[in-house]
């Protein structure tokens, strides 16, 4: 057992918290979205929370942790859904929230620290020069930019710009390594794939350079249809419409909108499916003409309501906020993350709707994927048992709809179900003792793990906690 009193002494001058209740609070994320992760991770907690204010304090913390063989799990705001920010082996939670400065803003790019909340970053770039991030998660009001890069994938704006995996959507990351003498590395180009979406397993991001787009006062719109598939076809057609500038297109099946979107309920009829949209103000006229041609019913416009007080942003009905709003009303609900590869993505969605009906109420996000318009989905699941959930996953896969499993805490099982050799090689270089966010990269713990065998990975340290 590490000597945490000594460690605290060695970290003197840096903010350190060891109150068990507060440490436990900062050892959580949104893992409880999944009944499976909830059972597995409920007892996970760190020993200390360290909150550095500067890169120099990050380096000092990693040096001390390395010397004492103490695991370090970075944390932004803890809004990840898969236990990404949860310290499976205890040790230190490295809370980056105090490293929240914007350093420089230029035409087309911003340089900032990792702990700034995304909406605040957008606020500053907009005030400075009318620019905003190309896309952001629906948690923009709470999540940090560092946590998004290390734990997220895409979001509001991905209809135009694709996702974080697309080269050009991150410009540069500065990363501190976990070694006896931590190094500071600047990564650009393809090297960015070493640490983006690596859950902080192979370096701590201390500085970020992101591309920017022109900012608009986006208009929130809801378009209603009586049939979910009509809303999907409308969304597909709008997404392919070259001239109308949109930032978000999310068709959401009945009964989700009426049952779970409390603040928008006055604008939605029972049994109505909706499309949650963000439209550039100058695009409203062509958008209205297009929607009328498509026989969509405009049920809500943020530029026409008297006040938006108490009404959430349209993007806070979409992405994983759809799930959040449903769980708040019915805690037995969970969800899946589905891809519907094109060009026949609409037909694939239709097939899944026919098979599952109200057991898996539909929710799609239209995005640009490898240059093509496609949709991915975060459908709700009316959860009955783990066995049925596995069956629902299998049926999707059998119909050519891959699942990114949100009920797993490892990078591989939540992703492509294969070793990311680039991230593994970088971990060998930057974290030789395997102290950064242990248990999240199967390839590090068990290089012989057979992904094709169909078993789930259980991090050995967790078995004792369950």
Answer yes or no whether residue 193 interacts with ligand FAD by CB under 6 A. Answer: no
53: DSSP letter: S
Site string for ligand FAD, 420-449 (x = CB under 6 A): -----------------x------------
Per rule CB under 6 A, is residue 64 in the interface with ligand FAD?
no
Interaction between residue 406 and ligand FAD (CB under 6 A): no
- Rounded CA-CA distance 78/162 in Å is 24
**Can residue 80 be called a binding residue for ligand FAD (CB under 6 A)?**
yes
Contacts (CB under 6 A) with ligand FAD, residues 83-102: 84-85, 96
76 binds ligand FAD (CB under 6 A): yes
Q: Which residue matches tokens 């416009």?
A: 301
Closest to 220 measured CA to CA, from 130, 299, 137, 136: 299
Among 121, 324, 327, 393, binds ligand FAD (CB under 6 A): 324
Task: Look at residue 158 and give its three-state secondary structure.
Answer: helix
Which residue number places its CB atom closest to ligand FAD? 147
Instruction: Report DSSP state, residue 457.
Output: P
Q: Return the residue of 7, 23, 29, 276 that touches ligand FAD, per CB under 6 A.
A: 29
223 binds ligand FAD (CB under 6 A): no
Which contiguous run of DSSP H or E holds residue 137? none
Cβ distance to ligand FAD smaller for residue 202 or 291: 202
Helical (H) or strand (E) element with 13: none
Is residue 146 a contact residue for ligand FAD (CB under 6 A)? yes
C-alpha dist (Å) from residue 117 to 79, 95, 208, 376: 12, 13, 13, 26
Q: Which residues on neighbouring strands pair with residue 74, listed in sequence order? A: 94
* 26: Cα separation from own chain's centroid: 18
Nearest to residue 225, comparing CAs of 344, 326, 362, 345?
A: 362
The reply to whether 30 sits near ligand FAD by the rule CB under 6 A is yes
**Total residue count of the chain as it appears in this document:** 466
**Does 154 contact ligand FAD by CB under 6 A?**
yes
Task: Provide the minimum distance between the beta carbon of 323 and ligand FAD in the complex, in angstroms, as a whole number.
Answer: 7
- CA distances (Å), 304 to each of 186, 290, 399, in order? 47, 19, 42
For residue 147, state whether it binds ligand FAD (rule: CB under 6 A). Answer: yes
> Strand, coil or helix: what is 247?
strand
Under rule CB under 6 A, how many of the chain's residues touch ligand FAD?
38
Q: Which stretch binds ligand FAD (CB under 6 A): 225-233, 320-328, 332-340, 388-396?
A: 320-328
- What are the residues binding ligand FAD (CB under 6 A)? 29-30, 73-81, 84-85, 96, 114, 137-139, 143-144, 146-148, 150-155, 199-200, 204-205, 319-321, 324, 437
């Amino acid at each position: 057992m590490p000597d945490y009193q000594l460690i605290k002494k060695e970290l003197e001058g840096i903010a350190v918290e060891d109150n068990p209740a507060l440490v436990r609070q900062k050892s959580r994320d949104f893992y409880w979205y999944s009944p499976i992760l909830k059972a597995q991770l409920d007892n996970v907690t760190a020993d200390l929370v360290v909150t550095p204010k500067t890169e120099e304090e990050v380096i000092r913390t990693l040096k001390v942790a390395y010397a004492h063989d103490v695991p370090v799990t970075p944390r932004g705001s803890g809004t990840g859904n898969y236990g990404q920010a949860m310290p499976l082996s205890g040790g230190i939670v490295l809370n980056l929230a105090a490293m929240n400065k914007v350093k420089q803003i230029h035409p087309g790019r911003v340089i900032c620290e990792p702990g700034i909340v995304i909406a605040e970053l957008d606020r500053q770039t907009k005030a400075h020069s009318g620019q905003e991030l190309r896309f952001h998660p629906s948690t923009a009001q709470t999540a940090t930019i560092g946590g998004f890069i290390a734990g997220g994938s895409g979001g509001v704006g991905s209809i135009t710009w694709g996702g974080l995996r697309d080269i050009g959507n991150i410009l540069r990351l500065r990363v501190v390594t976990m070694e006896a003498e931590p190094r500071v590395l600047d990564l650009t180009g393809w090297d960015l794939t070493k640490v983006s979406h690596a859950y902080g397993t192979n370096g701590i991001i201390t500085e970020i350079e992101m591309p920017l787009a022109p900012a608009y006062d986006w208009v929130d719109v809801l378009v209603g249809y009586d049939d979910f598939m009509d809303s999907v076809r409308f969304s597909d057609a709008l997404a392919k419409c070259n001239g109308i500038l949109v930032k978000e297109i999310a068709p959401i099946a009945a009964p989700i909108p009426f049952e779970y979107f409390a603040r928008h309920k006055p604008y939605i009829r029972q049994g109505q499916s909706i499309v949650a949209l963000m439209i550039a103000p100058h695009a409203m006229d062509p958008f209205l003409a297009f929607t009328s041609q498509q026989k969509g019913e405009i049920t809500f416009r943020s530029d026409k309501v008297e006040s938006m007080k108490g009404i959430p942003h349209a993007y806070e009905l979409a992405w994983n906020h759809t799930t959040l709003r449903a769980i708040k009303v019915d805690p037995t609900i969970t969800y899946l993350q589905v891809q519907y590869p094109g060009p026949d993505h609409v037909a694939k969605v239709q097939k899944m709707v026919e098979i599952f009906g109200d057991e898996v109420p539909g929710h799609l996000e239209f995005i640009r994927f490898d240059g093509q318009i496609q949709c991915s989905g975060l459908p709700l699941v009316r959860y009955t048992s783990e066995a049925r959930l596995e069956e629902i996953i299998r049926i999707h896969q059998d119909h050519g709809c891959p699942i990114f499993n949100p009920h797993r805490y490892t990078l591989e099982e939540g992703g492509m179900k294969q070793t990311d050799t680039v991230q593994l090689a970088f971990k060998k270089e930057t974290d030789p003792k395997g102290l950064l966010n242990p248990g999240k990269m199967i390839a590090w713990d068990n290089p012989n793990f057979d992904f094709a065998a169909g078993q789930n990975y259980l991090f050995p340290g967790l078995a004792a906690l369950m």
